[in-house]
A and B are shown apart, each in its own frame.
Chain A
Amino acid sequence: MMKNQNLTQNDKIVDGQKFKDEVILDIDKVTISYSGNPAVKNVSFPIAKNRITSIIGPSGCGKSTLLRSINRMNDFVEGVTIEGHVNYLGHDIYSGEIDPVEVRRNIGMVFQKPNPFPKTIHKNISWGPLINGYQGSTDELVEKSLRQAALWDEVKDRLYESALSLSGGQQQRLCIARALAMEPDILLMDEPCSALDPISTSRIEDLLFELKSRYTIVIVTHNMQQAARISDYTAFLEMGDLIEFGVTDQLFTRPSKRRTEEYVTGRFG
């Protein structure tokens, strides 16, 4: 848990230690309500650049809602209000001057269920960059993105077939490739493995490890083992409150809150 909310970004203190990574995005006293009922209450923690931050917690604790506030996807849900600030590279993405479309170009998202467009594999990847003014070769872009998502070898001979002909795990990697094609700074993932089998899941976890060097990843998961395996930082939410935020190893082995310990040891949730 952060001890002092008023420090500047580079002086963040986490678990009593100076936050040693560069902060790319700072969630600052964020409260999100659905028609007046708060789903996320006064939550603050930093997102470290080129690290994987996972958000864990029992179902309905507000972790997906919080994730979707980072790239303003909550704008499309009726009756949602947000208080507080989400500072991305020093700008509050909820201030009036910021165009939410611009935010989503820089902060990509992968959803719980694979949701490829019902179009060709090629088109799935090239569409996003093309509408945003990409000028270069789409073939190169498609190959690069698919390679990054470890899908190239499986689909290189069928780029012009429908994306819906792929298996669930392949579709999810295609969705990751689609998000990567935009070259986002941050990649948000909302339980990306919950609809996948264990083999597809482990492939995606390997992939996240490789992507870490180039992207910042924030992942919501209800799978604690997954959070422990892949993430550098972990935030634990319960009933909309941030119970604990810290370095993953510490949070799982020496949690400072009793509630966290009970959750990570599987006593509830």
Chain B
Amino acid sequence: MGVGLLAILLIQVTVDGIKWLDYQFLTSFPSRFPYKAGIKSALVGTLWLIVMIAMVSIPIGVATALYLEELSRKGRFAKLIEINISNLAGVPSIVYGIIGLAIFVRGLGLERSLLSGALTMSLLILPVIIIASREAIKTVPMSIRQAAYALGATRWQTAWAHVLPASFPGILTGVILALSRAIGETAPLIMIGALTYVAFLPVGPMDSFTALPIQIFNWVSRPQQEFHELAAGGIIVLLIVLLTMNATAIFIRQKTEKKLQ
């Protein structure tokens, strides 16, 4: 049933949007004339976001998971952090938008920049990355840790040299799924004030930006039929970006798993 509905939706979107998908669509800035409009700035903004979110959230998320699983003492404090992380994973994304607006845009004075957007999105997906990484770390057999400890390795050396590489495929899957979620999110970006009409490309992390979901949202909310079809074209592009990321995850995972066996 769900798969059927999804298929119908996908077909509908493809039928609507396919005729707008051409080189011009990918390389033009938004415009109030549908035949001149494109998603260049939104696509580039989204790519910027992916890279920046990855750079912020992966090191922090994986380090946190590693700390909680391997290095910290299993006490009340660890339990408390654990419960909080699970709770954070369930907080609506708009709330993260408000936090981002208050802390990054206003508090730290980062303005409505790519950096604000990336930091806000990183907050949003950190709990997901931490939880997925911890699950991956838990699947590493105890015997590997014991082997390392018996050679006079410290907890840190063991975690870095053996636990992390062995759990890498699982962590990678979690990270890419989390990043996919981040690039599909609209609410926090609207909240922190991503622009909807951007006729230039961002050249640095402090520039203002737009992103694919924002552009799609903008087009859908216009009355003209042509813009709705443009939105469908944008959705196709977004889906292609997502599928590419997931395919990359599967590819890297299979490669590393083969190497391990």
Residues on A facing B (Cβ under 8 Å): 71, 73, 76, 78, 101-102, 104-106, 108-109, 111, 113, 115-118, 127-128, 131-132, 162, 164, 175, 178-179, 182
- Residues of chain B within 8 A (CB-CB) of A76 are 145-146, 149
Look across to chain A and name the residue whose beta carbon is closest to the beta carbon of B147.
A115
Alpha-carbon distance between A115 and B144 when the two chains are bound, in angstroms: 6
1/0 per position for B133-170, CB-CB distance to A under 8 A? Answer: 00000000101111111111110010001100010000
Which of B143, B152, B260, B261 is close to A111, meaning CB atoms less than 8 Å apart?
Answer: B143
Alpha-carbon distance between A78 and B78 when the two chains are bound, in angstroms: 15
**Inter-chain contact B146/A128, CB cutoff 8 Å:** no
1/0 per position for B245-261, CB-CB distance to A under 8 A? Answer: 00000000000000111
Alpha-carbon distance between A113 and B154 when the two chains are bound, in angstroms: 22
CB distance from B149 to the nearest CB of A (A): 6
**Inter-chain contact B74/A128, CB cutoff 8 Å:** no
- Residues of chain B within 8 A (CB-CB) of A109 are 146, 150
Alpha-carbon distance between A132 and B157 when the two chains are bound, in angstroms: 10
- Residues of chain A within 8 A (CB-CB) of B162 are 117
B interface residues, tally (CB under 8 Å): 21
Alpha-carbon distance between A108 and B146 when the two chains are bound, in angstroms: 11
CB distance from A160 to the nearest CB of B (A): 12
Look across to chain B and name the residue whose beta carbon is closest to the beta carbon of A106.
B152
**Inter-chain contact B74/A111, CB cutoff 8 Å:** no
CB distance from A95 to the nearest CB of B (A): 18
CB distance from A54 to the nearest CB of B (A): 19
**Inter-chain contact A104/B74, CB cutoff 8 Å:** no
Look across to chain B and name the residue whose beta carbon is closest to the beta carbon of A107.
B150
**Inter-chain contact A182/B166, CB cutoff 8 Å:** no
Alpha-carbon distance between A118 and B162 when the two chains are bound, in angstroms: 8
**Inter-chain contact A104/B149, CB cutoff 8 Å:** yes
Alpha-carbon distance between A115 and B143 when the two chains are bound, in angstroms: 6
3 nearest A-B pairs in the assembled complex, by CB-CB distance: A105-B152, A128-B151, A115-B143
Knowing that A108-B151, A109-B146, A178-B147 are A-B contacts, what are 11 other residue pairs whose CB atoms are under 8 Å apart, sorted by A's residue number? A106-B152, A111-B147, A117-B147, A117-B162, A118-B261, A127-B148, A127-B161, A131-B152, A131-B153, A132-B151, A162-B259
Alpha-carbon distance between A118 and B257 when the two chains are bound, in angstroms: 10
From known contacts A131-B161, A164-B260, infer whether A118 and B150 are also in contact, taking CB-CB under 8 Å: no
Alpha-carbon distance between A128 and B147 when the two chains are bound, in angstroms: 10
- Residues of chain A within 8 A (CB-CB) of B146 are 73, 76, 109, 111, 115
